[in-house]
Every structure is written in C-alpha cells, then in structure tokens.
Chain A
Amino acid sequence: MHATEIITTIFDLFPFALGGSIIAAILCSHIGVYVVSKRIVFFGAALTQIAVAGIAFAHLPFVGLNPAIGSALFTTLAAILLSQILRNPRIPRDAVLGVSFVVAIALRILMIQKSPAAEASEIETLSKGDILFVTSEQFLLLAGAFIVVMAIFIFFRKEFLFVSYDPETAQTQGFNSRWWELFFFVTAGIAISVATRIVGDVFVLGFLTIPPVAAIAAAKRVRHIFGIALLLSLLPPIIGMYGAFALDLPAGPTMVAAAFLLLVLGWGGRRLRSAFASEN
C-alpha cells in the first residue's frame, strides 16, 4: 500500500478512530501533567486496569450492565477510595498505588475469565489496543467527556495546581485540600474510564505519562508544560495510525511507541545541542 493510499484509507474509513485517538491523547496528557507532578503515576496505571475490570464486570452474564456504566462505576469508586487512603501518612503512597494496581489486574483477569467468550475476546482486543473500529457514538461520548473534563481542568487550574504543589498551605488559605483532591481523583477517574473504554488501557497509560514527562522535563515555565504536552499528543496518534497500517500492527501500542520515539528524539536533540554548545 502506498503512503497516499494509507492516508486516504485512514481519513475515509477510520475518521472516528483517528479523531478519537487525538482527543483521548490530549485529554490524557493534560490530566497526566497532574498525575506525574503529584508523583502518582501508578494511580493512572491502576485506574486503567480498574476501568477494564469494570467493563468485564458489566459483561458478566448475571450483571448485564452497559460497559461504559460498569467502567465509570468501578473507576469512580476506586478514585474515591484511593483519594482517601492516599491521605493516610502512615501508609506509603507508592505502596497503596502498587497494591491497587496489582489487585486491579487480578480483578480484571478474574472478571474476563467469567465473561462469555465473545465479550472476553472483545475486552482482550481492547487491551491490545485495536482501536480502529471506534463508532460515532463512542466518538461523541469521548468528545463530550473531553469538553467537560478539560473545561473543569482549565477553569480550576490554579486551584488544582496549588493543592498539588502545597496542599497544607492551600488548606490554610481556605481551599479544602481533601475535597479538591477528591474532585481531582473523580474527574480524572471518569476521563480515564471513558478513554480506556474507547482507546484501551495501553494507550491511556502511555499518554498519561509520556507527553507529561517530556513536557515537564523541557518546560521552563509551568504554563508551557500544558502547551508542550498538548503538542506532543497531536503527532503520535497520526504517526501511530499510519505506522499501524503500513506495518500491520495494533494501532494503540503503535501510537504509544510513536510518542516514546518523539520523547527519545527530543531528549537526544537536547543532548546534541548542549554538546555542540559546550564545544563552541
């Protein structure tokens, strides 16, 4: 297949997959800036697994829920629970997140094991990241979640940043850190749940971490971090989709690999530039 044919096919046959993956990438990388700066990357990892477990739970024969509702229910409950447990100074944060991650994976395997064969295979496909067949309904749901969650994060940016940066002083300034943390966890949880249902857990976790890490490392100002993270989320879905077609690979992991490639190229470029600068 020629390059032009691939591009035409993507735009003609899979516009929702391409548009959905770009929207999901921007959403995840914006939330990811907070996740990385709060040093709770495992929170993202655990919630993606819990979202998949929620989808599998919804498919169980005796449950019969809409998978989107199952996923949102599981992640919201987990987000509320985690936001409370993570405040306990006696338990290390990384230990809590590690336990929740491994329990979420176990739960997910158990739920899939008990799901009917057809649904189990659909969930496994989702996990592998075959995101080509995103429907218009799924795209609209994702776009709706994008608008609401981004509006919340932009409107309350200074409050979320203050509570993340220095929760104790924020509390003394009249910002109830407990409620702001809960608000953050639940909003991020809902976004992760919707995105995981549509683009898969590998994609979501990849974009929750790779663009924010690159942006935090590169930015000289906090406001630039969000802009760099946004730019770094636009290209990988396009490159990844093209690569997936050209090389017959699953789209989700290819997009994550493209994001990682950009991270490595950016890091290599900076190293080279500083090496040349020190020689001159």
Chain B
Amino acid sequence: MTNEPKSIDLLRFENVTAGYGKRPIVTGVSFSIARGEFLGIVGPNGSGKTTLLRTLLGILHPKEGRIEFPSTHPDVPVMGYVPQRDTIDLLLPFTTAEVVMMGRYRRIGLGRRAQQKDMQAIDCALEQVGMESFSGKQFRDLSGGQKQRTLIARALASEPEILILDEPTNGMDIASRQTLLELIQSLHASGALTVVMVSHLLGDVANCAQRIALIDGGHFTVGASAEILNETNLSQIYGTPIAVTILNGKTIISAGGPNARH
C-alpha cells in the first residue's frame, strides 16, 4: 500500500454533459479546479452557465461523464453557494442574522437548535462581509449590495471549501459593484478559499479570476484570462466587434470594437 499524497484538485469534471431532461445544454466539459484557485465562468445569455453551475452544485446530475472530488474523496467538499439575490422570496420577515444562520443548518443537524458556536460563526461571517451592524435588520429591507453581502455571509457561515457565486454583481450600481468585487477578491486572498464566479459581465470576471471558462454554443473552453478573453474570440462569440483594453492594470471589455472608442 502506498501513501499517495492527496491531490490538490478540489474538483474535476471529466467529459461531462449537462442539461435538463433529455436535452443536453453543454457537452464535453473537462476541467479541474485546484484548491485556492479563482475560476470565472462566462458566456452569452442562454449559453448554459447556470446549467453548468447547477451541475457543479449537485442540483443536476451529469447526463454523461463524471465529477470527481480528489482532495476530499469520497466526500463532496462543502460548497458555499451564493444565489442571485432576486431568487430569494422576500415574503417572510427573516432578519439578516436568521438568513446567515441558514448557512449553519447542515452543521447544526436535523431537528437541533443553534448552539453558542453557531451564533459566533454567524457573527464572524457578518463581520467578514462588513454587515455586523445589520444583523437585527430585516433582510427584505436591505439594499441590493447589502443583500448580496448577507448571502455571501450565509455561504461563509457554512465554512465552505469552495465559494460559488452566481451573477453576484447583477443589477448593482458601479460603486456597490466595485465594493463587492473587492470583497470577493479579499475573501479569496485571505482565506485560501477556492472561488467559482459565474457572470455575464466579462470585465468583472476578467479582473478577479485567475482562469476563465468560456461557454458558447454548448462548447466549453478553459484557459488564462488573456488567452480566452481576447478580441477575436469575444467578437466571434458575441457576434459583434468587442474591444479589450488594459488600463492601469485593469481589463476593460466593451462592445463596439476599437473604432467605437474614437
């Protein structure tokens, strides 16, 4: 018997086909995510980003191929999921702390009540996202950016190995968007947290992620940001001229091509 070192790959997709019912949406997906990595998933609307995300989260089963978790085998790593905030029903008056507490439910156990350590965990998660002074406020009364921070705190409260964010900056003003992206980057940098972020906002992903996965027409490509998010690739996929500019170290992606800037 050999003592093989544990792989640093947190998860590995091997030739996965994902979809609904009998309909495949994305096919032949093969990639791996290393521990501590930041992967961005981009693609036009309807390209299958959410389908792939739901498969990664275990909500959908792969139609073909397999998903492995080499570093935690046979267990699935704890995933902290941050859904789009408009998918949350606001009818019930949950407080911010109660929403974050939901992230502890798995650790608390079936039919059990929260303990002191769970209370400390939610205080800590709220502090990490700068929402500690909002713990008693109703979630439905928070602004879009505050709601998103609360949902990130809920994911952090589950003590995840991988943080998965679905369109986290959707519908936010420019200042809230920037603050949120900085928060996500600092969480990734400080805690060796593996992050997967899905977004249709190419600039957001280009400036945060170490690697980019691009989905288009059911096909899937993974690589470094510069390799994937170049003008030729993007113009072809989106069917319109797209300009990629580097300004003060930031990638700016705009529709209209180089001529549109003049």
Q: Which residues of A contact B (CB under 8 A)?
A: 37, 39, 155-156, 158-159, 161-162, 165-166, 168-175, 216, 219-222, 225
Known: A37-B89, A172-B79. A165 touches B94 (CB 8 A): yes
Chain B interface residue bracket vs A? 20 to 34
The one of A165, A172, A175 that contacts B81, using a Cβ cutoff of 8 Å: A172
The total number of A-B Cβ pairs within 8 Å is 69
> Do B57 and A172 touch (CB < 8 A)?
yes
- Any A CB within 8 A of the CB of B116: no
Interface centre among B81, B83, B164 (most CB of A within 10 A): B81
CB distance B138 to A169 under 8 Å?
A: no
Tell me which of A165, A172, A220 contacts B89 (CB under 8 A). A165
Contact between chains at B110 and A156 (CB < 8 Å): yes
Residue B246 at the A interface, CB < 8 A? no
Rounded to whole angstroms, the CA-CA distance of A162 and B79 in the bound complex is: 17
Specify which of A156, A173, A219 is in contact with B106 (CB 8 Å cutoff): A173
Report the Cα distance A168→B54, complex, angstroms.
9
B92 touches A222 (CB 8 A): yes
Q: What are the 6 closest A-B residue pairs judged by CB atoms, nearest first?
A: A172-B81, A173-B106, A155-B111, A172-B57, A174-B106, A162-B102
- Asked if residues B102 and A221 are in contact (CB atoms below 8 Å), the reply is no
Given A159-B105, A171-B57, 5 further pairs, Cβ under 8 A: A158-B108, A161-B92, A165-B89, A168-B83, A172-B81
State the CA gap A219–B92 with chains docked (Å): 9
1/0 per residue, CB under 8 A from A, across B121-150: the answer is 000000000000000001000000000000
B134 CB to nearest chain A CB (Å)? 15
- For residue B127, give the distance in angstroms from its CB to the closest CB of chain A: 21
B105 touches A222 (CB 8 A): no
Point out residues on B near A: beta carbons under 8 Å: 57-59, 79, 81, 83, 87-89, 91-95, 98, 102-103, 105-106, 108, 110-111, 138, 154, 158, 164
A225 touches B92 (CB 8 A): yes
Bound complex: CA A171 to CA B91 (Å): 20
Contacts of B92 in A (CB 8 A): 37, 161, 165, 216, 222, 225
Chain A residues in 8 Å Cβ range of B154:
169
In contact, A159 and B110 (Cβ under 8 angstroms): yes
Partner of B158, one of A37, A173, A220: A173
**What residue of chain A has the Cβ atom nearest to residue B101's Cβ?**
A158
In the assembly, what is the distance between CA of A225 and CA of B94, in Å?
11
Q: How distant is the Cα of A29 from the Cα of B94 in the complex, in angstroms? A: 19
Looking at A39, A162, A170, A173, the one whose CB has the most chain B CB atoms below 10 A away is: A173
The residue of chain A having its C-beta at the shortest distance from the C-beta of B111 within the complex is A155
Q: Which B residues are CB-close (under 8 A) to A216?
A: 91-92
Q: A161–B105 Cα gap in the complex (Å)?
A: 11
Given the known interface contacts A37-B92, A156-B111, A220-B138, the answer about A169 and B58 at a Cβ–Cβ threshold of 8 Å is no
Please state if A169 and B81 are interface contacts (CB–CB under 8 Å). Answer: yes
Residues of chain A within 8 A of B79, CB atoms compared: 172
Chain B, Cβ-Cβ closest to A155: B111
CA distance A219 to B94 in the complex (A): 10
Q: Please, which residues of chain A bring their CB within 8 A of the CB of B91?
A: 37, 39, 216
Contacts of A161 in B (CB 8 A): 92
> Does B83 contact A166, Cβ atoms closer than 8 Å?
yes
Known contacts A171-B59, A172-B81; A165/B110 CB under 8 A: no
CA distance A165 to B102 in the complex (A): 10
Name the B residues within 8 Å of A220 (CB-CB). Answer: 93, 138
Q: Which B residues touch A168, using CB under 8 A?
A: 57, 59, 81, 83, 87
**A166-B88 CB under 8 A given contacts A219-B93, A222-B93:** yes
List the A side residues contacting B164 at CB < 8 Å.
172
- Nearest Cβ distance between residue A114 and chain B, in whole angstroms? 39
Assuming the contacts A171-B59, A172-B81, asked whether A158 and B105 have C-beta atoms less than 8 A apart, the reply is yes
B residues within 8 A CB of A37? 89, 91-92
Task: Return the chain A residue nearest B59 by Cβ.
Answer: A171
Contacts of B103 in A (CB 8 A): 173
- Residues from chain B with Cβ under 8 Å of A172 in the complex: 57-59, 79, 81, 164
Q: How far is the CA of A155 from the CA of B109 in the complex (A)?
A: 12
Please give, as numbers and ranges, the residues of chain B lying within 8 Å of A170 by CB-CB distance.
102, 105
CB within 8 A of B105: which of A155, A162, A221, A225? A162
Tell whether, in the assembled complex, residue B105 and residue A173 are in contact, meaning their CB atoms are under 8 Å apart: yes
A180 to chain B, nearest CB (A): 11
Within the assembled complex, what's the spacing in Å between the Cα atoms of A84 and B247?
Answer: 52
**Bound Cα distance A172, B83 (Å):** 11
Q: Which residues of chain A are near B95, meaning CB under 8 Å?
A: 221
A166 to chain B: closest residue by CB: B88
